[in-house]
Chains A and B, each alone.
Chain A
């Protein structure tokens, strides 16, 4: 509890700094400085440049913002899906609940990475960068709900057997009316699920990108920057390629700190 406020402030600070870097005049994550490929730190490129002469600081800032925004959007989608499916399974007919939980089991029976890889590879691999980013985060959202849905299902089942629910039903409150009361009562489950899923999605995107199945170039992403580490000759020239990874670990630590505190 003591650490929550500093962690949040640090995250907000990083977001503000990244937004400022990206919106600086002449800052572009695609602009190439062909005279300064793999350059070390300088006034024009504070964190050096990559193999194509693109400013590493701008790319890292853009990757951070893109990854955070994508993970948050995917997390919101997955939490909403989990809330809907978990509540439907609990309040629907017995066969609906059983069927939905079997579907959850199917998703949970396959290791997360295998499932992600299979679904991502079934999507177009050669699309525009923006579309590939959208597809990547949509795939994460589409596959991330089963574990959360199970938690919501348990919570909703407890609500279903609670005294006030029995009273509401006895008073003739219809399905829509009950749902209006159920969802707010599940917020204490949904908010932590939303927060916990964000670092998981950031990490999943990084792992997918490192396998060449993530966000397409030239859009910057954590995964794309991890992929860059496979280029050994480049690593011999500069150690600055580790900067994005160090920042990724810091961001994940902060996000996990928020999740633990939640």
Chain B
């Protein structure tokens, strides 16, 4: 299969996934209890004309097919509609929050990877995966994100970045430790060590390139993991990011906002999951 065909296939699959995400989210929220009720209809400050317009809007959204057509058409034009809750364009709500969440994710992933890599380098130098060295990661993995965030908040130590970093470090440490342990035992590495090649050179020149594909896969997994942790972390730390926006929209059945956020998330996860094989393939070409 040529590169162009594989890229086209990936694009077609991603588009199909996006389409199904839009349709699925629309159906789900449309049939959510209380979706068709609008608090503004009972607000006396609205003129009779505005109230009838709201009723007409609600009546239009009774048809699920019409609603789906509108949502898909709007999403294709890059228009996510207007928030029911805040009455402002959804893109205006998402864009500034994307920056906040992006910074939080970037710092969390960076710090988490640094901690995980250092711990794995230290741990893999030992003979066996000892319980003592694995214990912190095991305990951290058993703490729900919300509990970890609450502890940090109550103890007034660390913020959302630390919680995100600890979560990722615990998850990634186990993979990195196992990968590094395997790499150290490779015959050519053992031979190089026996010949007195320095550890630093071994790591940079031999081990890192051989682990590159696995590290790429782990990086994409880290993005998916950190996105899942985004909601409790942002809600509990009161960070005005996409996670908190989605939580708010979910509680208030704000379909346009929810759809916009879901699409952004689906694009992020799909791209991160497929970027790795694509980049490896392009590099090898």
Residues of A within 8 A of B (CB): 102-103, 105-106, 108-114, 117-125, 199, 203, 206-207, 210-213, 222-223, 226, 229-230, 232, 235, 245, 248-249, 252-253, 256
In the complex, residue of chain A having the shortest beta-carbon distance to the beta carbon of B24: A106
Q: B135-165: contact bitstring with A at CB < 8 Å (1 yes, 0 no)?
A: 0001101111111001000100000000000
- Using Cβ atoms and an 8 Å threshold, which residues of chain A touch B32? 121-123
- Using Cβ atoms and an 8 Å threshold, which residues of chain A touch B227? 111, 113-114
B251 at interface, CB cutoff 8 A = yes
- Whether A206 contacts B138 in the complex (CB less than 8 A), given A106-B20, A114-B265, A117-B246, comes out as no
A-B contact sample (4 more), CB < 8 A, given A114-B231, A199-B142? A102-B16, A114-B246, A117-B231, A118-B29
B262 at interface, CB cutoff 8 A = yes
Q: List 6 A-B contacts (CB under 8 A).
A: A102-B16, A102-B17, A108-B273, A230-B150, A249-B142, A256-B142
Residues of B within 8 A of A (CB): 13, 16-17, 20-21, 24-25, 28-29, 31-33, 138-139, 141-147, 150, 154, 224, 227-232, 235-236, 243, 246-247, 250-251, 253, 258, 261-262, 265-266, 269-270, 273
State A256–B265 Cα separation when bound (angstroms): 28
Query: In the complex, how many angstroms separate the beta carbon of A171 from the nearest chain B beta carbon?
Result: 36
B262 touches A206 (CB 8 A): no
A121 touches B33 (CB 8 A): no
B20 touches A111 (CB 8 A): no
- Whether A207 contacts B146 in the complex (CB less than 8 A), given A112-B228, A256-B141, comes out as yes
- Of B21, B145, B150, the residue contacting A109 (CB under 8 A) is B21
Query: In the complex, how many angstroms separate the beta carbon of A109 from the nearest chain B beta carbon?
Result: 5
- Using Cβ atoms and an 8 Å threshold, which residues of chain B touch A212? 251
State A108–B16 Cα separation when bound (angstroms): 14
State A248–B31 Cα separation when bound (angstroms): 35
- Using Cβ atoms and an 8 Å threshold, which residues of chain B touch A203? 144
- Whether A118 contacts B250 in the complex (CB less than 8 A), given A123-B32, A229-B150, comes out as yes
- Using Cβ atoms and an 8 Å threshold, which residues of chain A touch B143? 249, 252
B270 touches A109 (CB 8 A): yes
A111 touches B232 (CB 8 A): no
- Using Cβ atoms and an 8 Å threshold, which residues of chain A touch B29? 118, 122
